[in-house]
A and B are shown apart, each in its own frame.
Chain A
Amino acid sequence: QKEVEQDPGPLSVPEGAIVSLNCTYSNSAFQYFMWYRQYSRKGPELLMYTYSSGNKEDGRFTAQVDKSSKYISLFIRDSQPSDSATYLCAMSSNAGKSTFGDGTTLTVKP
């Protein structure tokens, strides 16, 4: 069993929809949770970075962490075609290497 499981997708939504991207994990030592966005043939871009449980909002993006359920989510409001990309969750127990999910590919159709 992988330490981090990510909803595989692909996910296709109409423009303006609310998107929910999810990951579960098994390692209770994880305390740092990240979401990255990767466009085709580019390096991943850090979107959100949270520590421990709770919500964090940045513009149209909200990251949610539920450590009791070992479940994290990224919500995208008012999705735009430019949000079409692969989204990777990542988590770490300390300032070392992160464990990444396999990614969910999102397509937002105009």
Chain B
Amino acid sequence: GAVVSQHPSRVICKSGTSVKIECRSLDFQATTMFWYRQFPKQSLMLMATSNEGSKATYEQGVEKDKFLINHASLTLSTLTVTSAHPEDSSFYICSAQQEEVAQYFGPGTRLTVL
């Protein structure tokens, strides 16, 4: 149980375009979902916390207008990177949480902005 999927797994886009990443909890309802960014050989950097039906809470330094998060249902959250630039290239990972504390992570999305 506790499977989280992400789509797409890899995306390459041109600078200035927007990219949407989906995160789904497949076999449970997630009260909270988290979005992380990870650079090579570095740890997870929390970007934002989203709860179903409410606005996401962004970490300090993360531009909310740049990284749009929508948590439309208890099984789906989306991250949209707007007007992407090469510096946005990274590995984006979502996680989902039930009532307990442990987070279940998706497989990640590798974004490359040319």
Query: Chain A residues in contact with chain B, CB under 8 A?
Result: 32, 34, 36, 41-46, 49, 88, 90, 92, 94-98, 100-103
Contacts and interface: CB of A to CB of B under 8 A. Distances in A.
B105 A45 contact: yes
5 contacts: A34-B101, A34-B102, A43-B107, A46-B2, A95-B100
B77 interface: no
Interface stretch (B13-21, B42-50, B67-75, B78-86): B42-50
Nearest to B98: A95
Given A46-B104, A94-B101, 14 more contacts: A34-B101, A42-B108, A43-B6, A43-B95, A43-B106, A44-B93, A49-B101, A49-B102, A92-B101, A95-B100, A96-B101, A97-B34, A98-B103, A100-B44
Given A97-B34, A97-B49, A41 B91 contact: yes
Nearest to B92: A43
B102 A44 contact: no
8 smallest CB-CB distances across A and B, nearest first, come from A43-B105, A32-B101, A102-B43, A49-B102, A43-B108, A44-B105, A43-B107, A92-B101
B64 interface: no
Interface residues on B, range: 20 to 34
Interface string B27-45: 0000110100000001110
B101 A43 contact: no
B101 A88 contact: no
Chain A: interface secondary structure? loop
Most buried by B among A36, A43, A98: A43
Nearest to A32: B101
B5 to A, nearest CB: 10
A96 B31 CA distance: 10
B97 interface: yes
Contacts of A100: 43-44
Contacts of A42: 107-108
Given A43-B93, A103-B43, A95 B99 contact: yes
Contacts of B91: 41
